[in-house]
Structure 1
């Protein structure tokens, strides 16, 4: 005779045999077959997350706090330890000294019913490896089922159709905005090829007056990946923060851009450390309270920045600083106010769509093909620049990032089936390099600065009268140049005021270019001062210096402008 078995779902069976169960209002415990008792107000693990970045497990606890339903995400170690569970009392959980031990037991039983429903999450963005496989993490990860649980609002909203319509109507045909679009996507290629070419982070700074569309440009770049409201948890933020606070915002990024609006909001007086740290892509070493080295966080990003002042100009005068920043100066990005308004209106409703899909497209291509094309693009750009404008020893290193931008444009065309004005973008990159090469030319910049400094402080160099109480040196007209003798303390102070980081670098450049009259084995000469005492001084040769105009224009009773 067949034995009839009860028909029920597995979850019902599990529920029937469990020691604890929940009602709409309470957590209950079965004490015996016929006896139950109340343990606490309603508390339940609604889901369990496994963070693939930290390998930690977290529980989403749903509970009633004074009749109001709430959710709290806590580490597994919190709800499975009596002491830590009691710490949640201030959050409104009905946890007391009397029921805490029972609740720990209840949560362990809850876990066992959710083992098959654990969902993966991540709190960093961009490229990563998981179990030896390359993945890309945005709101939804590419290459693994995982959902973003970090601080930024990168959840896609709106429609691809409306976003692409905005690009077609408001961006295409404007090479500057096309360049911004490419810059916002360039972080993907930058991070994807970083191991093959030792690439570090890219900084693109827009230095331009207000009403030139520079904020709209940065918001366009951010909209590829996230919401664009600076008040929200956006990849578009402001410079209103300390050096370390700004760096912390990009920790863990690899292949995602970040945008910083309006450099004048920063309290930093000198951006040298900020630039070096950001490009190097790793935190400074720090100690824990136990004097152990903390794990260093890293990043690899394209940083887009703007302001009315030059980022390079706010750092020390150092050619390596200038080489690390791509600056665009004094240009207008949007065609007119209507163009800017149309872009802003579209990206307020549609964002976080195109960036991750572009990353997914790049991941479908063979990496060796991308590398081959990258090297071709780099070689072509290098040859073009060398045949049309001056370069220096830092140019070849910079061509790596120029190639990243140009290759991003090329693959964007294939991905979107839009046509960009790549010739105009190339010309823009060439002009960026020409400007940077001039800035990196330390001896020329230093000589211009020294001439201005002497003109402003003419009386302190014995020009325009002798009634001044400061004495920086002397100026003597020669046949082909003007000789300037500067006392060592005055020279060092002059360079410090000009933000020149290392006087020895400036002196070496001046000497090698014939602007420094010095002994063969040093940068100085021995000269008698006005008291007849010999001392080491710097002797500069200033060519094309209008000394007669300086004498004529200088006040006879001393100059008050010691800048």
Structure 2
């Protein structure tokens, strides 16, 4: 059972260890004394086991002893031994390593070790990485502790290799001046910022999804990000993973603070990635019950994640807009400035890595945390302001602005700590150019659902009843009807509508990975796509014969013609003129299923549009 333990220095000791006077090490052997005829006789039990130091694990406060001894082959062995195993039934396991101990002599060996441990050096170690607290103070756990004299004892390759000078020279020559690589460097540092401020601001992990062919340099760029903290290769014991790994293993292997690459998203052809992306974004594993019906501890991490693939992973998720706010997605970006530059970057980071994250962590711990929070708030407001000025602001802008702000603050940190000159304005423009939430077609689930429906109808046209189809068709999915042209709330025209049953509609949405039917219908009604009574979405429709069923009446839009050429009236002005010329009062189109108001256009109505509109 694990206990919650804290460690602190106290001037007055209240606990004193017992010294076992009857046990001693004599001439390289541990043993004990017995009294025989008023004489103390030493009885050796086996080769001595010595204690080099005692180590306390920062995360659990558990102690380990570094033991060393000479075995029968004359070789010296050193073992990191859990102090909790310093009991008779476990100490005998040392026989497997050459220690002379049995159940009969185990007590004497334990007492000889306890006699030594009070006088050895006591050290600290850690097995987890990232920002943490120790005795109420913020610390960083890397290859070495920052803010704490502790050493990493895990197997991951986070110890700096090569020189910082070689690494910085590469940054100046092959990263500075090329905005995509400057962005990746900044994003890698922003993950450390997310971890440091996780108690001060509510923000999810930074996720950068890089999509493109193998020649675009995306993997090189992602390995550059990883190299800021650990070994950037595919040899294991580092933070380069694959989507072939299970979600459970990824959630337990991804660290705090350290940039992480998950490669080969293109290998995923049949997996629904919705839960995977949500879990990676939140950095929180699902809670699970143990066999004893107790809640197991869930793994948590805060960092920057870099995902690479040749196609969008979002295409394998459901179409909820929430995923758009959790993911920077970059398609067909040339990440490295040239093939020669990519080769130089890979060559340098293979032999020089792990120098940046510890430097930035040390700088962060010296700063006022509240001042950093205020900088992020300022950058967030600036991002929102730019979106309003560019007229790209929408209901998702503020949800994504904070992540952009974290990267922009990271730009300032990189310039300050590494004494570089990243172009902050260019990086901001780069993020805005590739933002998923700046496009109405991406943000609106109604727009995306309608686009999917039109594609579905086009692909499966023979499965819909229409004036051109046979009177009876197998596997009927719905009914298409031509009608008088109307103007929708989106300023699109519609001259056709679809009648579809509720059950069939749900199947079509599911095939398009749309899980929120009510959300789609709500937007469609606001946009004029869905025709129904004002207080509901569903209607009574006739698809085959006179049979009435519950279903939907959906207006199918036709994209508006584009205006081009000099001297053509402003688009909005033309639309306003068009609205004025539409028949008044509004014509009420009646049918046997639904009554609703439509904007209508008579066939002979001359709207006097520009030539390129006709």
TM range (shorter): 0.7 to 0.9
Task: Say which structure is richer in helix.
Answer: 1
2:129 paired with 1:125: yes
Cα distance in 2 between the residues matched to 1:448 and 1:334: 34
Aligned partner of 1:527 among 524, 538, 541 = 541
- After TM superposition, the score normalised by the length of structure 1 is 0.87
Q: Which residue of 2 aligns with 1:456?
A: 459
Cα distance in 2 between the residues matched to 1:82 and 1:137: 35
1:462 and 1:69, CA in 2 relative to 1: closer, same or farther beyond 3 A?
A: farther
1:17 and 1:421, CA in 2 relative to 1: closer, same or farther beyond 3 A?
A: same
Aligned-pair CA distance for 1:37? 4.7
Aligned-pair CA distance for 1:50? 0.4
Aligned partner of 2:64 among 42, 58, 61 = 58
Cα distance in 2 between the residues matched to 1:474 and 1:545: 21
Q: Which residue of 2 aligns with 1:356?
A: 358
Aligned-pair CA distance for 1:256? 2.9
The more displaced of 163-172 and 330-339 is 330-339
The superposition leaves residues 211-236 of structure 1 with CA deviations (integer Å, 9 ceiling, x where unpaired) of 21111111111111011122231122
Give the greater-gyration-radius structure (CA): 2
1:94 and 1:428, CA in 2 relative to 1: closer, same or farther beyond 3 A?
A: farther
Query: What SS does structure 2 have at the residue aligned with 1:483?
Result: strand
- After TM superposition, the score normalised by the length of structure 2 is 0.80
Which structure 2 residues correspond to residues 389-408 of structure 1 after superposition, within 5 A?
A: 389-408=391-410
Which structure 2 residues correspond to residues 502-541 of structure 1 after superposition, within 5 A?
A: 502-541=516-555
- Contact 1:242/1:268 (CA < 8 Å) preserved in 2? no
Cα distance in 2 between the residues matched to 1:20 and 1:232: 45
The superposition leaves residues 380-414 of structure 1 with CA deviations (integer Å, 9 ceiling, x where unpaired) of 22111221142221211211111100011012112
Which structure 2 residues correspond to residues 301-316 of structure 1 after superposition, within 5 A?
A: 301-316=303-318
Aligned partner of 1:236 among 236, 240, 243 = 240
Q: Which residue of 2 aligns with 1:471?
A: 476
Cα distance in 2 between the residues matched to 1:18 and 1:158: 52
Aligned-pair CA distance for 1:57? 0.8
Which structure 2 residues correspond to residues 119-268 of structure 1 after superposition, within 5 A?
A: 119-250=123-254, 253-265=255-267
1:450 and 1:27, CA in 2 relative to 1: closer, same or farther beyond 3 A?
A: farther
1:439 and 1:44, CA in 2 relative to 1: closer, same or farther beyond 3 A?
A: farther
Q: Which residue of 2 aligns with 1:365?
A: 367
- Contact 2:207/2:281 (CA < 8 Å) preserved in 1? yes
- Contact 2:206/2:281 (CA < 8 Å) preserved in 1? yes
Cα distance in 2 between the residues matched to 1:513 and 1:93: 79
Cα distance in 2 between the residues matched to 1:304 and 1:389: 29
Aligned-pair CA distance for 1:476? 1.3
Q: Which residue of 1 aligns with 2:599?
A: none
Query: What SS does structure 2 have at the residue aligned with 1:475?
Result: strand
Query: What SS does structure 2 have at the residue aligned with 1:118?
Result: strand
Q: Which residue of 2 aligns with 1:560?
A: none
- Contact 1:218/1:236 (CA < 8 Å) preserved in 2? no
Cα distance in 2 between the residues matched to 1:492 and 1:70: 67
Cα distance in 1 between the residues matched to 2:281 and 2:29: 53
Cα distance in 1 between the residues matched to 2:23 and 2:117: 13
Cα distance in 2 between the residues matched to 1:178 and 1:506: 39
Aligned-pair CA distance for 1:446? 0.9
Cα distance in 1 between the residues matched to 2:530 and 2:382: 38
- Contact 1:238/1:265 (CA < 8 Å) preserved in 2? no
Aligned partner of 1:425 among 416, 424, 427 = 427
The more displaced of 520-529 and 85-94 is 85-94
Q: Which residue of 1 aligns with 2:87?
A: 81
Aligned-pair CA distance for 1:305? 1.2
Q: Which residue of 2 aligns with 1:549?
A: none
- Give the RMSD, CA atoms, in angstroms: 2.5
- Contact 1:28/1:36 (CA < 8 Å) preserved in 2? no
Aligned length: 525
The superposition leaves residues 355-404 of structure 1 with CA deviations (integer Å, 9 ceiling, x where unpaired) of 11012112222333323322222222211122114222121121111110
Cα distance in 2 between the residues matched to 1:412 and 1:380: 20
Aligned-pair CA distance for 1:72? 3.3
Cα distance in 2 between the residues matched to 1:525 and 1:22: 95
Aligned-pair CA distance for 1:490? 1.5
Query: What SS does structure 1 have at the residue aligned with 2:119?
Result: helix
2:298 paired with 1:291: no
Aligned-pair CA distance for 1:193? 2.9
- Contact 2:392/2:438 (CA < 8 Å) preserved in 1? no
Q: Structure 1: which 5+ residue stretches go unaligned? A: 1-14, 547-563
Query: What SS does structure 2 have at the residue aligned with 1:357?
Result: helix
Q: Which residue of 2 aligns with 1:6?
A: none
Cα distance in 2 between the residues matched to 1:314 and 1:91: 51
